[in-house]
Structure 1
């Protein structure tokens, strides 16, 4: 669901976060374009774009990205001397047209830029009022609060996921007994997202910030042999809020068992085209893997009723 396409053996597709980072860049020189609050994997990555369209990630909201912190024993002076040494090496190296090397150099430059105090202050959640932090709730809520601070700093795309220490013990993949405590996970999500929406609205940022809650499959209505519920790819729900869209409430309709779509179907490519259109990315454009053109979406068309 990160790329909007099935995995290919010949193309490493970029994620939606990397596409937006590549096409729009950051909204400020003081921030990277793409941050993940959670654990990275290959489907969240830049694919054929290379490292420059990649992400910063963190798993601890109180510390910020580990990769931006100096190792113990490396002082600021020592880091600056290393930077000068690197610059001297680069100055003595013949220019290269190798896109991988150029992308790597750009990623190093970006990392050094964002390792300073100006960007890292965004991770100081204790600067927020205690009452606001309480409204956001637990660990997932604090991640949502941090996402708001990152957006204010100029990050263009933020992905927030739960910590692996799920309240229900198994996460959203609720097979077997994990479903017994799934209501705790739903409650945590409800509290955090409600706080994020009202917080953004109070700061007049909601119309400029698209909130997306999505999955990659649904759940059938019946229980399986282990007491949980399996996977269902024929129909599932995604949520959009803010972003200046003309919201319609529920869009699309299934049968009474939520297994078959009966009205206003939205394919995964259509959903991706809608996201791109909402954030100012031309969903009809081609990207390029070397000389090979790759459409941003797999023939997706935005949900026109959300616009205009």
Structure 2
């Protein structure tokens, strides 16, 4: 194994190491019976700022040429009476009773994508004194993996500090990949290493590990590192690698998910079945429309291609999880850093808006088939039921059976798991 592969191998494995959920404080017990009972979370990330008026909260039709504010596309009815979506989401519209559109999310970061992305992932402002953990790290830290020999937290997309563990440390970090046809690069065996050679290296490593444990029997750092190495070897083995064999699924099913993004969603279902607790799936890696969801100026012209791709993959994921009796056990959240205003810029596109935008939820044992929050006639301002980002995170934690008032620890310092967030009570029976 080259030094490059070895660094990737051990780094990737280190972030996957975690302990059993049964010993973790904050996990729902009989005293928290009102919390949800979901076991997994899939966070679909629409990086770039998906416009709510053009997707989940359509209003009157606008005209970019005449600079008339409004939605870019006509709206259609959904399976939730009185609730509409954009015309390019017919597949999700037909099964919208499995969803909950939260149309009144808000925060105060509007000018910078990175800061808004950090807010949506950590629930807090960027701080110069403390690096807060992401929602994925928080959930994986408290609950751990739901199966043996798998990481608790996987990102299907590019690595970013906003998805990371912050003060929780490497054990709450993620394993990431960008290619659905194979596992994470840091866990994949180099192609020039044959089985016999690999076996010899493992035996040598086992000898060295045993000797180091013998010499340092009371050193917790050594014990943690040795556990990480063992986890790396398990994750690098054939069992976890099987999860990435999408050809094991029927052609009809693979086709129902659609293209590259759809295959990432299909992989998410397989990762859920393997026991991964939290998965983030990025939607804008391939920039189907040239700009992703950041639709300033002419970038909005092909936005419908992104919306259709999302519609195909998301509806397939919901129905596939339902067929496998996993939908009630899996919370799906479709998030973005902020929305888009109803007005058009000089090029016909849209700017940024954070005072009112939408996040879509599905499954997870929630009381679906209802909409939370209402915006005004142009989706510019919230009319009722505002939901802060801490409230959104509290809802996600609660759905996973985690007390939203649970405290994490930065060293000896207690830190609330949310910034005073309250779960959306209407979603819990």
TM-score after normalising by structure 1: 0.94
CA RMSD of aligned residues (A): 1.6
1:96 to 219, 223, 238: 219
Q: Per-residue deviation at 1:127?
A: 0.8
- 2:149–2:231 CA contact under 8 A, matched in 1: no
How many angstroms does 1:219 deviate by?
A: 0.3
Shift of 1:226: 3.2
Distance 1:21 1:248 in 2: 28
Deviation per CA, 1:150-198: give whole Å up to 9, x if none: 1011111111112522110110111121110000000000000001111
- For residues 51 and 112 of structure 1, what CA distance do their matches in structure 2 show? 17
* 156-165 or 193-202, which deviates more: 156-165
Per-residue displacement from partner, 1:17-57 (whole Å, max 9, x unpaired)? 11111111111103211111111100111111211111111
SS at match of 2:380: coil
Alignment match, 2:242: 121
After superposition, give the CA deviation of every residue in 1:176-235 in whole Å (9 maximum; x if it has no partner): 211100000000000000011111111111111111101121100111233311111101
Contact 1:13–1:48 (Cα < 8 Å) also in 2: yes
Find out whether 1:82 has 2:205 as its counterpart.
no
Choose from 382, 392, 399 the match for 1:271: 392
Q: CA deviation at 1:114?
A: 0.8
- Give 1:214's aligned residue: 335
Structure 2 stretches of 5 or more lacking a match? 1-119
2:160 alignment counterpart: 41
Q: Which residue of 2 aligns with 1:177?
A: 298
1:234 aligns with 2:344: no
2:180 corresponds to which residue?
Answer: 61
Equivalent position SS for 1:238: strand
Displacement of 1:84 in angstroms is 3.9
Match of 1:141 in 2: 262
Q: Is the 8 A contact 1:52 1:104 kept in 2?
A: no
Structure 1 contact 272–297 (Cα < 8 Å) conserved: yes
- The residue aligned with 1:19 is 138
Answer whether contact 1:139 1:163 (CA < 8 A) is retained.
no
Offset of residue 104 of structure 1 = 5.0
Q: 1:105 Cα deviation (Å)?
A: 4.6
Distance of 1:236 and 1:106 partners within structure 2? 43
Partner residue of 2:75?
none
State whether residues 31 and 155 of structure 1, in contact with CA within 8 Å, keep that contact through their aligned partners in structure 2: yes
Kindly provide the CA deviation profile for residues 131-158 of structure 1, in whole angstroms up to 9, marking residues without a partner as x: 1111111111111011001101111111
User: Which of the pair has more CA radius of gyration?
Assistant: 2
Q: 1:102 to 1:288 in 2, by over 3 A?
A: farther
1:63 Cα deviation from its structure 2 partner: 1.4
TM-score (norm. length: structure 2) = 0.68
Structure 1: distance between partners of 2:192 and 2:365: 48
1 or 2 for the larger relative contact order (CA 8 Å, sep ≥6)? 2
Name 2:286's counterpart in structure 1.
165
Task: State how many pairs are aligned.
Answer: 306
Structure 1 residues not aligned, in runs of 5+? none
Corresponding position of 1:286: 407
Matched, 1:2 2:121: yes
Task: Name the CA distance, whole Å, in 2 between partners of 1:110 and 1:47.
Answer: 21
Whether 1:303 and 2:424 are equivalent positions in the alignment is: yes
Give how far 1:72 is off.
Answer: 3.0
